[in-house]
Amino acid sequence: MKGMSRVPRRQRIAPNKISLAFSLVALVFVVMVLSIGSAGLLAFLLYQAGILDMNQPEPLRGVYVLIYISLFMGVVIAALLSRRSVRPIRDMMEATSKVSKGDFSAEVSVKGSIVFELDALAGSFNTMVRELKGIETLRSDFVRNFSHEFKTPIASISGFAKLLKKGNLSEVEKQEYLDSIIQESERLVGLSTSILNLSKVETIEIVSEKSFYRLDEQVRLAILMLEPQWSARSLQLELALEEEIEIWSNQHLIQQVWINLLENAIKHSNSGGTLKVGLWQRGEEVVFRLEDQGCGMSNETMRRMFDKFYQGDASRAAAGNGLGLTLVKRIVALCEGAIEVESELNRGTVFTIRLPLGQPDSQSLQPTS
């Protein structure tokens, strides 16, 4: 048809990539053909030169000579062709050695390879190296942030303790320094607890110790536990909690979700604002919704809010440790749920959590002896 570019005949017939098994068969076939052909050509040249006489009394001798020549030429040709064939594998071995020594910049290229298995292997290897590099970066950031988060309150405690030791302080100054020491100590305790909880859930693959319990009562209890915090900020709570919602899950893990989300909302709410908490059942899942009227989040904060130690609002950094939302996301994922976030700067944030109601399996219902 007119207007359509012609595709070369060779491209339509011959595939761009072949399988490893086909390439090995083709290599053996090419080696055989080339070795027999070159051996025959060499034997013909020797015969023309009078070095090889095929009319001698022992005719098998000439056949043996041809076999020896064919074997020799086959080895030479196979050695030459195999160097190019195994080059991608050799490059991958070198790259693997670099990665084992901690060099995650190593990548494999299979330019010129016609075997698609080698292409796939190189692609998977490069993806693995990039993932390892990302994990190493996260580890380094975690260690750096962890050290910083611990160093700051410890330095404050040490500084105020030294001032108290010097004496010559008024009673008001003593109380102020003691309050600062208590505040920083509590911050260290909270940070240690968050890190311990996060390390526990990161090693969990399957949630165990499940039981039936009232989810609406658990949310009410979490709100009651945090009453001193939201009262101190003069926040108003609007509750819309559906009654009698039972869920089959790990009660301790899910409780950490509500506490961390509520603490985060209280921390970022403006004084005198309103927190709206909703909980309802929809089919075979339960939906939790938390809306605040706080400072909201920028696009950059939205992108990184689940990263360890990340705190988008620097003015409120002392009030948290940047691990609460990381813990929430991990627990929700373990419970096969989903988390959604809507936020706008200076307009507030809405967190929506969806969790399956769950059903016990037959083993869970068996009585223990």
DSSP H helical ranges for the chain: 9-13, 20-48, 59-85, 87-100, 116-166, 171-202, 215-225, 227-232, 251-267, 299-304, 324-334, 362-365
User: Which pLDDT score is estimated for 16?
Assistant: 52
Give the whole-angstrom CA distance, residue 58 versus residue 37. 24
Rounded Cα–Cα distance for residues 285 and 96 (Å): 46
Q: What is the pLDDT of residues 245-259, one digit of tens each?
A: 999 988 888 988 998
The amino acid at 311: Q
Q: Which CATH number is associated with domain 211-360?
A: 3.30.565.10
Q: Pick the more confident residue, 349 or 37.
A: 349
The DSSP string of 242-306 is -SS-EEEE-HHHHHHHHHHHHHHHHHTSPTT-EEEEEEEEETTEEEEEEE--S----HHHHHHTT
Mean pLDDT value across residues 222-232: 89
Residue among 324, 318, 322 nearest 184 (CA): 318
Average pLDDT value for residue range 54-64: 59
Is the pTM above the cut of 0.85?
A: no
Tell me what pLDDT residue 52 has: 61
What burial letters (b/e) apply to 350-360, b meaning 16+ CB within 10 Å?
bbebbbbbbee
**pLDDT computed for residue 350 by the predictor:** 93
| pLDDT in the model for residue 206 | 73
Total length of the chain: 369
Helix (H, G, I), strand (E, B) or coil at 316: helix
What distance separates the 2 farthest-apart alpha carbons in the chain? 125
Domain ranges of the chain: 211-360
Write down the pLDDT at residue 219: 93
Query: Which tokens sit at 183?
Result: 């505040």
Assess whether pLDDT exceeds 50 at residue 10: no
Assess whether pLDDT exceeds 90 at residue 118.
Answer: no
Write the DSSP symbol of residue 314.
G
Share of the chain above pLDDT 70, in %: 65
Q: Using one digit for the tens of pLDDT, what is the confidence trace for 308-343? A: 766 665 444 445 566 778 888 888 988 889 999 998
Per-residue pLDDT tens over the stretch 177-218: 898 888 888 878 877 776 777 677 766 667 778 889 999 999
Residue 116: band (very low, low, confident or very high) from pLDDT cuts 50, 70, 90:
low
| Across 132-146, 182-196, 271-285, least confident range | 132-146
* Residue of higher predicted confidence among 225 and 20: 225
Which residues are CB-contacts of 346 (< 8 A; sequence separation ≥ 6)? 295, 296
pLDDT band at 136 (very low <50, low <70, confident <90, very high): confident
Query: Which pLDDT does position 353 carry in this prediction?
Result: 93
Measured in degrees and rounded to the nearest 5, phi and psi for residue 203 equal -90, -5
pLDDT computed for residue 319 by the predictor: 53
- Concatenated DSSP letters for 120-135? HHHHHHHHHHHHHHHH
10 Å CB burial of residue 226 (0-12, 13-18, 19+) is middle
Supply the DSSP symbol for 227. H
Is the pLDDT assigned to residue 276 strictly greater than 70?
yes
pLDDT of 230 > 50? The answer is: yes
Name the percent of the chain lying above pLDDT 90.
Answer: 15
Question: Tens digits of per-residue pLDDT, 279-302?
Answer: 999 989 999 999 998 888 888 888
Structure tokens at 94: 């070198």
